[in-house]
């Protein structure tokens, strides 16, 4: 059974106070996210003492204005950002759908990029072979699948990236906004594919400014403000008052 638990998660970034680009703290004394760490050095808290627990069937939506900490929290859940304090505990496979276009080799073919992304994702050779068949069929790139990515249009690259990112369901699925790709016809197929991946996931965490997306996909909500939890509870009640 998948589990995603966060206990007193704090993410801090060091503040440079000297030299070019240094911040004069006297001008920002009213920002309660700026403090000193254990060694006395100034830091800005992107997240402050975040705690929650999710189990199978939980679909958590993250609400908050830009800069509230949603993307930082997602990257901490994915293991991209290490906690400054607290911990993130996960049981189950994880898929993070953030920038699905990142990490591709422009000089390698589409087929080769499927293989390389599979290695990065830790897929077995059998899984990579299965994914290759699935991606080629879904992305519908024709002969371009054996041509370098630098010959692709932006839409073709997006279709390939989306198809690879949504090959296999995961126990824990993290999303920073809803993703889509390609023209109108392909976007409809992409939405259907993404909905299926979400349904198959044990746990979903999605950050979005689109209330309809959150309403249709989440049963729990967490509202962030200045890196802290402002409100949390059932999606229906939180969204009704947001």
Indicate whether 69 belongs to any domain.
yes
Q: Provide DSSP, 7-31.
A: EEEEEEEE---SSTT---GGGSTT-
**What is the pLDDT, as a whole number, of residue 234?**
93
Residue 76 host element (H or E): helix 70-77
Whether 219 maps to a domain, the answer reads yes
* Residue 195 is assigned to a structural domain of this protein: no
Residue 167 CB neighbour total at 10 angstroms: 23
Residue 115 maps to a domain:
no
Residue 213's domain comprises: 3-93+206-241
Q: How many distinct structural domains can be found in the chain? A: 1
DSSP output for 175-230:
EES----SSHHHHHHHHHHHHHHHHH-SEEEEE-S-HHHHHHH-SEEEEEETTEEE
Residue 180 covered by a domain? no
**What pLDDT score does 29 carry?**
45
**Cα 232 from chain centroid (whole Å):** 20
pLDDT score at 222: 94
Residue 59 lies in a domain: yes
Q: Is residue 225 part of a domain?
A: yes
Which pLDDT score, from 0 to 100, does residue 30 have?
47
CATH of the domain at 52: 3.40.50.300
Q: Does the residue 155 lie in any domain?
A: no
Could you tell me if 18 and 52 are in contact, meaning their C-beta atoms sit under 8 angstroms apart? no
Half-sphere exposure of 142 (CA within 13 A, CB side): 3
Q: What is the mean pLDDT, run by run of 10 residues, along the chain of 242 residues? A: 94 71 50 61 86 95 91 93 94 84 86 91 91 93 94 88 87 85 77 88 92 91 93 90 77
pTM, to two decimals: 0.81
């Amino acid at each position: 059974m998948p589990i995603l638990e966060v206990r007193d998660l704090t993410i801090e970034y060091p503040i440079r106070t000297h030299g070019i680009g240094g911040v004069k703290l006297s001008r920002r004394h009213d920002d309660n996210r700026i403090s000193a760490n254990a060694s006395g050095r100034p830091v800005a808290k992107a997240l402050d003492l975040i705690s929650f627990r999710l189990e199978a069937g939980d679909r958590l939506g993250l609400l908050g204005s830009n800069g509230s900490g949603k993307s930082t929290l997602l990257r901490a859940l994915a293991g991209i950002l290490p906690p400054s304090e607290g911990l993130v505990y996960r049981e189950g496979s994880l898929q993070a759908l953030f920038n699905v276009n990142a990490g591709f080799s422009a000089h390698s073919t589409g087929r080769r990029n499927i293989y390389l992304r599979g290695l990065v994702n830790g897929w077995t050779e059998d899984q990579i072979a299965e994914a290759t068949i699935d991606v080629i069929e879904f992305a519908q790139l024709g002969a371009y699948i054996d041509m370098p990515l630098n010959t692709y249009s932006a839409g073709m690259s997006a279709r390939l990236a989306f198809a690879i990112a949504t090959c296999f369901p995961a126990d824990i699925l993290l999303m920073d906004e809803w993703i889509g790709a390609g023209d109108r016809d392909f976007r409809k197929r992409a939405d259907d594919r993404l909905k299926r991946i979400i349904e198959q996931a044990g746990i979903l965490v999605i950050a979005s400014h689109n209330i309809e997306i959150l309403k249709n996909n989440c049963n729990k909500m967490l509202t962030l403000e200045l890196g802290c939890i402002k409100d949390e509870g059932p999606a229906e009640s939180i969204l009704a008052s947001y």
